Amino acid sequence: VPVLDTAYFLRWLSASSELFRREGARLTALDAAVGDGDHGANMVRGFDAVCEAVEQNAPATPGELFALAGTTLTNSVGGASGPLFGMALRRTGKRLGTGEPVTPDELAAALRAGAEAVGKLGGAVPGDSTLLDALLPALDAFDGDGTFVAARDAALAGAEATGPMQAKKGRASYLGERSIGHQDAGAHSVVLLFDALVLAADP
């Protein structure tokens, strides 16, 4: 794990934005199969807005950066994903406090608090075929192995494991059993966010 300072997380945000641009069409195709086909566009718009916000406000600590990113996502994305990812980042930022840099353990605990807040806000539990099915395994792997690569790999395995799940939350749940056989778009966005943590470590 690299030094977790504000500069590192700024690189993470631009890597995320780049990955969403590159992979947006794939995310949208996943969402189109069981939802309304806007997930890629939502994440591209959201992370563009986040990058602009951090440029204009120059957060001084990782905690401030996460809080600003979360608020911006919530305010710039109309879909369910905006408020959910926004809550995750905002709560993570709040938990990080004013440390600079933060330690890997502090980051792990803060991300865990963010995931718990998403569960409370959206009512999803593991197995419901949502972004949590990638996020929770990623956090477990990070707790265990302590590397972003392990977390990213676990996120990917978790996202792929949503295929056979029946969606219980969000638009995909309207399809009932017909949602079975489709991987969750938001879970794949989580994979990209962890991919960006890996990329930002090695600029």
Residues that bind Mg ion (CB under 5 A): 31, 35-36, 38-39, 79
CB contact at 8 A, 164 and 181: yes
- Residue 23 interacts with which of Mg ion, ligand ADP, none, CB < 5 to 8 Å by class: none
Minimal distance, residue 146 CB to ligand ADP, in Å: 26
Q: Which is nearer to ligand ADP, 102 or 185 (CB)?
A: 185
Helices within the chain (DSSP H only) = 6-34, 39-57, 62-76, 81-96, 104-122, 132-145, 148-160, 185-200
User: Are the CB atoms for 64 and 95 separated by under 8 Å?
Assistant: no
The total number of residues written for the chain in this structure: 203
- Partner that binds at residue 123, options Mg ion, ligand ADP, none, CB closer than 5 to 8 Å by kind: ligand ADP
Q: Which is nearer to Mg ion, 28 or 61 (CB)?
A: 28
Q: Which residues contact 38 (CB under 8 A, 6 or more apart)?
A: 28, 31, 79
**Is the Cβ of residue 15 or residue 44 nearer to Mg ion in the bound state?**
44
Minimum distance from residue 34 beta carbon to Mg ion (Å): 9
Whose CB is nearest to Mg ion? 79
CB of 98 to ligand ADP, least distance (A): 29
Residues in contact with ligand ADP by the rule CB under 6 A: 31, 35-36, 38-39, 42, 79-81, 84, 118, 122-124, 130-132, 169-171, 184-187
- Report whether 104 contacts 4 (CB < 8 A): yes
Instruction: In angstroms, give the least distance from the CB of 38 to ligand ADP.
Output: 5
- Which residue, among 153, 177, 175, 155, has the nearest Cα to 165 in the 3D structure? 177
* Maximum CA extent, the chain: 47
